[in-house]
Structure 1
């Protein structure tokens, strides 16, 4: 994990993504997940999957989807983080979580995930939040467990052959579901 200095999160702003955010969000997500820039943070998946993480059309589809929100987190007008929430009955799906690599390990992610959980509870009366994580991302899963998530043991296949999610660098990738009950 990176040893970035703790960051003051009191002044972070949250808003729904708009069309004009698409290029910045594609770049943010790519920098947090893939390529050399992602290695500046501690949660890169560059050794597992190469290529793109999401393209502009993928971001637009989340922005325009009913029951879904793509939230931009900014500090002083600068986009530093994003996440997706999707309403799925009594629970909410949490995904596309990206923190600028240089800020990983500084408390931003923990603050933002707490805010996302509160949004799901307050706005949708969600009883739990679920997500899927590549099971081989052991450090990231351990971090989510420290944030109160638990592994369900439910696995789903990685979408091999779907270039919209990148190029797998291993042949054993699977997603594991994590869940957290909301009070």
Structure 2
């Protein structure tokens, strides 16, 4: 039987969520002062923070039903504000990162995979921000920026280097057919 979380446990989770949001803000502010190489590392750390935030968010949302209606509604509003904040910082972080990547001639070898992950994050953000509950707090420009970013990232994915695909069986069949056991 699952242990029911108490008020202190929920408050600890919300505090952890707030700390992650603060860390995300700190990472987003550093992006403007970094070189391209440093930016790639910073971007990966930023993504990790956002992933932790999303995991905490899912944990908290699964536990809210254990609370009284008033407390649950208050926490949902607080969580919604933090979520909007993090989604906004994620979009702005992607804009800054893409701006610097577009300005350069080369991209890291893993760029295609990272950009594909960013597209998925932006699509989730667009879906969440399009929710009617956020309609009064989200500007249409923000949604348009997300669509623009998805377009830019898609173009960058097409230009990015592709990791080699090793298919040992096919290679072995072509070059050493007498040694391949079928």
Q: What TM-score bracket applies, with the shorter chain setting the length?
A: under 0.3
State the structure with more CA Rg.
Answer: 2
Name the structure where helix makes up a greater proportion of residues. 2
